[in-house]
Amino acid sequence: MRIDDPPVVSSTLSNIASLRPATRLCIAALAVFASSSPGCSSHCDVCKVDNGNGDFFPAGDHEPVSKPGKHVLEIVETRRIVPGPDLPESIEPMFSNNNLDVVRFDGRTFLAFRTAPSHYASADTRIVVVSSTDEKSWVEETTFQVGRDLREPRFLPVAGKLFLYVTELGVDDDDFQPGGIKVSERAAGGKFNALRPLFTDGRLLWRTFVHDGKSYATWYTGGEQIYRPIVLLSRDKLNGFLELLLPTPLFEGSVKVHLGTTDDGVTFNPVASPMHVGGASETAVAFDPSGNGYAVMRTELPEPGGHAGSNVCRAEASDLSKWSCRHDTRKFDSPFMFEHDGEIYLVARRNLAQNGEFAPDPITTVADYVLAQAKYSCSRKRCAVWRFDKEHQAIDFVMDLPSRGDTCFPSVIPGERPDEVVIYDYSAPLNDTEEQRWCEAQDDVTHIYRHQIRFVPNDGAHAQRGAFEPALAGGGRSCAR
């Protein structure tokens, strides 16, 4: 496995530290433990709280057992794309490069990514779109900036056009301020037009994909409920603290997940609407060659009864409007699913603490919720590849991608060979010698990487690489702050 991640020195990145916000999680978690006043110097201060053994908020080093299916997955190459010398000089990536999507269209590979001063909402955020014929030399297609935060770019080929959907948020990192879904389109051989409003009904578009010639999307509504307790702590510290101090029941999820298709890129027809009602939000879907559906839903807001983590779901090809789900205590953030040789794979964030779990116990009160969020934020992360065990309707770990710190938000496209795929994701610099907690890394540099993955028959002759050890990547800071 070769990792190409040379050091970067950028004056653009060197003076960003002063822009880091005091985040919602800091206020919430410190209020729970009364360990500090709400005005915190770092939202990772809560990670210093311990129970005398120093392990109340462990950073974690969990290494799950790898369970490959009929293929062993090999990493042929990992290469940094953003920032990188092969980007046009007109593109100046900022400190944080994360949300991304990639697609093949019109004989080219298109990559869209978010670049911003930090992980958090900012009026300076840009969505940059580049394209390439070889994924080595890139040209700028367009850049979007609207004076508000932009996230979650999503490509979708429809009827000979390439659509790009972007979620608009606000500029307050202490609040959830959805501004609707915007859309731009590009005809074959043409250019992207300006972003225009598409949906203003509160929906948040998550995944877009093509299966068997049809263009699909998943989206959810009610997302403002997910972080309500933490937003309250930011807006109204007294009442927020009282919710934490008292055994206040947590509002159980009424988030609705939808699956639909489109023939024109702007009108979505329901396939499963709703697909699920509860605490689920980010939802990835894939189909096997027989047309059966498989889905993974992130349940950061608990389901009725207190379950939080993820839902692992499936539907028969004969009726994709009906999905049966099983709970998983692991939280598969930013899920992406794809099919290869009849098997279904998931790429998502992996937690290194609490045996990989998000919420081992039911979350029923506001205090339970904030504590779970604090523990999750204080742990280390990886971007990992998983396999859908169809027999048991469960998710099996296969391997980590080279990744660390703040990482994941993957997108997958076919490789040049039929036994390969290419995975794009983001991560804290791989050549860094420091292993950060997630909350620390969210305030630090993130890059975009390209991983070339090969599927080798699992005949016993090849061992499956499992957990990623950052020491393998070499040393050296990637930029000067």
Q: Is residue 207 part of a domain?
A: no
Q: Which of 211, 156, 155, 153 is nearest to 339 (CA)?
A: 211
Q: Is residue 32 part of a domain?
A: yes
Beta bridge partners of 221: 256
Is 293 a residue whose pLDDT tops 80? yes
Please compute the mean of the pLDDT values over residues 224-240 and round it to a whole number. 77
More confident call, 178 vs 402: 402
Locus of tokens 């190459």: 77
Is 51 a residue whose pLDDT tops 60? no
- Of the ranges 21-35, 181-195, 219-233, 349-363, which one carries the lowest mean pLDDT score? 21-35
Q: Is residue 159 part of a domain?
A: no
Q: pLDDT at position 198, please?
A: 97
Q: How far apart are CA 395 and CA 346, in angstroms?
A: 8
pLDDT digits (tens, 9 = 90+) for 111-167: 999 999 988 889 999 999 999 999 999 999 999 999 999 999 999 999 999 999 999
φ/ψ (deg, to 5) at 14:
-85, -10
Residue type, 426: Y
Please compute the mean of the pLDDT values over residues 92-101 and round it to a whole number. 97
Q: Is residue 168 part of a domain?
A: no
Q: pLDDT at position 472, please?
A: 43
Q: Is residue 182 part of a domain?
A: no
Annotate 256-293 with DSSP letters as a single string.
EEEEEEESSSS-EEEEEEEEEEES---EEEEE-TT--E
Q: pLDDT at position 49, please?
A: 65
Q: pLDDT at position 7, please?
A: 57
Please compute the mean of the pLDDT values over residues 80-85 and round it to a whole number. 97
Is 18 a residue whose pLDDT tops 80? no
Take residue 175 and report the two structure tokens written for it: 């609040």
What integer best gives the mean pLDDT of the chain? 87
Contacts of 410 (CB under 8 A, 6+ apart): 334, 336, 347, 348, 383, 423, 424, 425
Q: Is residue 37 part of a domain?
A: yes
Identify the three-state secondary structure at position 363.
coil
Please compute the mean of the pLDDT values over residues 83-112 and round it to a whole number. 97
More confident call, 38 vs 299: 299
Is 271 a residue whose pLDDT tops 50? yes
DSSP 244: H
Q: How far apart are CA 363 and CA 394, in angstroms?
A: 22
Q: pLDDT at position 469, please?
A: 82
Q: Is residue 395 part of a domain?
A: yes
Quote the number of domains for the chain.
Answer: 1
Q: How far apart are CA 206 and CA 153, in angstroms?
A: 9
Take residue 39 and report the two structure tokens written for it: 């005005």
Q: Is residue 327 part of a domain?
A: yes
pTM value surpassing 0.85: yes
Take residue 395 and report the two structure tokens written for it: 């998710």
Is 473 a residue whose pLDDT tops 80? no
Q: How far apart are the first and last CA of the chain?
A: 30
Please compute the mean of the pLDDT values over residues 277-299 and round it to a whole number. 98
DSSP 479: S
93 prior amide bond cis, ω within 30: no
Locus of tokens 């919720």: 369
The CA R_g of the chain, rounded to the nearest whole Å, is: 21
Is 52 a residue whose pLDDT tops 70? no
Residues 388, 344: contact at Cβ < 8 Å? yes
Host domain of residue 262: 2-90+213-473
pLDDT digits (tens, 9 = 90+) for 323-362: 999 999 999 999 999 999 999 999 999 999 999 999 999 9
